[in-house]
Amino acid sequence: MRNEVVLYSKEDATGFVTINRPEFKNPLNMSIFRALDKTLDEVAADEEVRVLIVTGAGNTFVAGADVNELLALDAQDGWRASRFQQSVFNKLERLRKPSIAAIDGFAMGGGLELALSCTFRIASTRAKLGFPELGLGIITAMGGTQRLVRTVGYSKASELILFRTIMSGEEACRIGLVNEVAEPDRLMEQAKGWARNLAALSPVAVRLELELLLNAMGQGFDAGLALESGLAPLAVASQEAKERLGAFLAKDKK
């Protein structure tokens, strides 16, 4: 419980990472990414921890990126931020330990990108998942485009991103975006059940299997990430994006 914006605890062989800005619906900012980066290093080095559960404080997983920070970015700063954010989510995906996103409430934009970086996703029946970025004049830039296509396929990924579709947990499960759905009061217990099942496996075999599964997705992923980082800052630095983001922030404060 050392970090203010990212909480970390352990229970038996399971680690728990909680994004902790519930008063703002847990938006991702650079402080969270820096804290998460250090926490993942700790998880990776701890042989007692065999599974990681990622969740959000309160009744929201992660509502998206911090709009205040986006408004302050120019193209160069945006590129650097995107590459660092991608590196943190890559570290989560390549942890060599299974990870489970326990999704309650909103998992929007960067929040859904965080969930997609986990091995598994369990959503509550009141979860809402989607990518609203295009409506704000920006694009996904934390690995979401690459991971979404590989999870649900090109056509469905295009629908979710271009039409800014907001999906329920049940619909997300139907298309394979999440693995399972639970009632809100059973969400964490269900995630813990999955964790106990995974923790009982050989950690060496699991590590090797995860490496094989990631490799099976094929080549070109890093090139796709680089392209996201090259294009996203151009969008966020545009005048239209500044206007739309500013309008969104003003509306949110009312």
- Kindly list the catalytic residues: 113, 133
Distance CA 216, CA 199 (A): 23
Distance CA 216, CA 211 (A): 9
Is the Cα torsion angle 187, 16, 114, 152 positive or negative in sign?
negative
Contact of 116 with 217, CB cutoff 8 Å: no
The Cβ-side half-sphere exposure at 79, using a 13 Å CA radius, reads: 7
Nearest to 56 by CA among 132, 133, 127: 127
Query: Per-residue DSSP letters for 98-129?
Result: -EEEEE-SEEETHHHHHHHTSSEEEEETT-EE
> Hey, what are 69's tokens?
């920070």
> Hey, what are 194's tokens?
């999955």
